Amino acid sequence: MKTVQDKNLLEMPIGVFDSGMGGLTVMREIMRQIPNEKVIYFGDTARVPYGSKSKETVTRFSRQIVRFLQSKQVKAIVVACNTASAYALNDLEREIDIPIIGVVKPGAKVAAEVTRNGQVGVIATEGTISSNIYTTYIRKLRPEVQVTGKACPLFVPLVEEGLWQDPVTDEIAKRYLSSLIDTGIDTLILGCTHYPLIRSTVAKVMGDHVTLVNPAYETARELKELLMEKGLFNPVPPQLGTNKYEFFVSDGAEKFVHFANSIIKYGILGAKDRGLLSMTKDVVISVRGLQVMDNESAEDIETVQQGEYYERNGSIFLLYDEYYEGFDEPVKNVMKIRGNEMTLTKRGIINVQMNFEAGKKNLTRYQTPYGVMMIGLDTSRVVCLQEEKSLAIEIDYTLEANYQYVSDSKIRIMVRERKQQA
C-alpha cells in the first residue's frame, strides 16, 4: 500500500458499513477519537441480520456495499460487522487497493492482552461463533488461551427494537450467559457491534470480576493508527458547513434515524439512499441572555460551550450540551435558524420547544425537575448575520410565565469556528 500525503486524499472520507444499525457504535467511536475525518456510513437494514446467513451470502453483500463506498471516493473502509469481518474481510483485502479493517482483530488483540487466567469468552452471532475467528486470532497471539464462544442471536433484534434495559433482555441475557459464567472466564468479548448497547446488562450478569472488551472502541483506535501509518490521517478539521458525516441505509430510514439519535451524541436528521446529513464538531457557541424587569433591574447570564454546526435545506442547525448544577446528565440543545425564525429545543431534565418568530407570540410548556409552567414568547426581532467563520443571532422578545408578564428579554448568540490542534 502506498503512503500518500496528497491534501485532496487526506480530505476524502472513511467508509463504514454494517449489516444494520449496530455499526453505529463503531461510528460513534470514530467520531470521538478522530473527529477531523469525514465518514460515510452504510447500514444494510434491508438484509439484517448477517449472523444467520451463509459465508457466500455475507461475502456477496459485503462486496456490493464496498463497491458503493468506493463510488463515494473513500480512502479507507471499516467493516463494522463481526460476521462480515469473519466471513468476507480476507477476500475484500485482496480485491481492493485501499486500507480496510474489520472489528475482530482489534477486539481479539485486547482480549489476549488483558486476560489474567487465560480464559476468554466471546458472545456474538451464530455466524461469528461458527467461524471461530476470535479463537484463531487470539491463539495466534497467545496459544495457551482457552476461548469459549456463545451465540446470542436474540440480542440483535432486541437491541434494534430499543429494548436495551428491558426485563425481557435481562432474562435472555441470564439464559445465554449462565453457561459462560460456569467456565470461569475473566474476559468477555462483545463480539457483535450491537452488544455494547447492552453492556450494562451483560456486566450485571457476568459480575465485576469479568472484563468486557468492546471491539468498537478498539477498532476506532486501530483505524487512527492505520491512517497515520499510511499517511492518510487528516490533522485539519473540515471547514464550517462541510458535509462531514453521511448516512445511507438499504431500508427503514425512519427507524434508522430514531435508533441513531439514541446512540450518536448530537443526533441526525435523516438517512436514505442519498446523502443528506452534515455534522461538524468545530464551533464554540456563546449564548447571552438579558432580562429587564420593571424597566430598571436587569439579569445578564452568559454560557459558552462547544457544539456542532451544520446546514440543511436552507436552515442552520446548532447542537450543544448544557449542564445544570446538581444534575449529572446534560440538557441537549438543538437550535434551528431559518430567516427571521429560530426554534430552540431542549431535552433532558428540562424539556421545551421555544419558537421565536418575529411579529408572533408563541405559547409552550416548559418542563423542569420542579414542575411545569406555560411560557409565552412574544418576539419582536430575529436577526441572523452569517460570515465565513462566524454566525451572530439577535433575538428580542417579551417573556411571560403562566400568562403573566415577566420581563423584556434579549438573546445574543455568537458562533465561531473552533480551532483544533493538529
Q: Is 152 known to be catalytic?
A: no
Mean pLDDT, residues 301-326 taken together? 81
Q: Are strands 404-417 and 146-151 parallel, antiparallel or unpaired?
A: unpaired
What are 185's three cell numbers? 472466564
* Residue 52 per-residue DSSP state: T
Cα separation, 192 vs 187, in Å, equals: 15
41-73 per-position pLDDT tens digit = 999 988 888 988 999 999 999 999 999 899 889
Mean pLDDT, residues 359-371 taken together? 92
Pick the CATH number of 283-417 from 3.40.50.360, 2.40.128.20, 2.60.40.10, 3.40.1790.10: 2.40.128.20
pTM of the shown model:
0.62
| Statement: residue 282 has pLDDT above 70 | no
81-133 per-position pLDDT tens digit = 999 999 999 999 999 999 999 999 999 999 999 999 999 999 998 989 999 99
Pick the CATH number of 105-215 from 1.10.357.10, 3.40.930.10, 3.40.50.720, 3.40.50.1860: 3.40.50.1860
CA within 13 Å, CB half, 32: 15
Stretch among 78-87, 110-119, 320-329, 398-407 having the lowest mean pLDDT:
320-329
Of 81, 122, 147, 269, the catalytic one is 81
Q: Under CATH, what is the fold of the domain 7-103+218-261?
A: Rossmann fold (3.40.50)
Peptide bond into 143 cis (omega under 30): no
Cα separation, 156 vs 178, in Å, equals: 19
Question: pLDDT class for 275, splitting at 50, 70, 90?
Answer: very low
Under a CB-based contact definition with an 8 Å cutoff, are residues 103 and 82 in contact?
yes
Question: pLDDT class for 1, splitting at 50, 70, 90?
Answer: very low
| Statement: residue 278 has pLDDT above 50 | no
Find how far residue 343's CA is from the centre of its chain. 23
Average pLDDT, the chain: 87
The more confident residue out of 170 and 326 is: 170
Residue 414 zone, left/alpha/beta (φ > 0; ψ -120 to 50; rest):
beta
Question: pLDDT class for 281, splitting at 50, 70, 90?
Answer: very low
What are 194's three cell numbers? 450491537
Of 84, 192, 210, 391, the catalytic one is 192
Q: Where are the domains of the chain?
A: 7-103+218-261, 105-215, 283-417
Q: Is 192 known to be catalytic?
A: yes
Cβ partners under 8 Å of residue 9, min gap 6? 75, 232
pLDDT of residue 6: 57
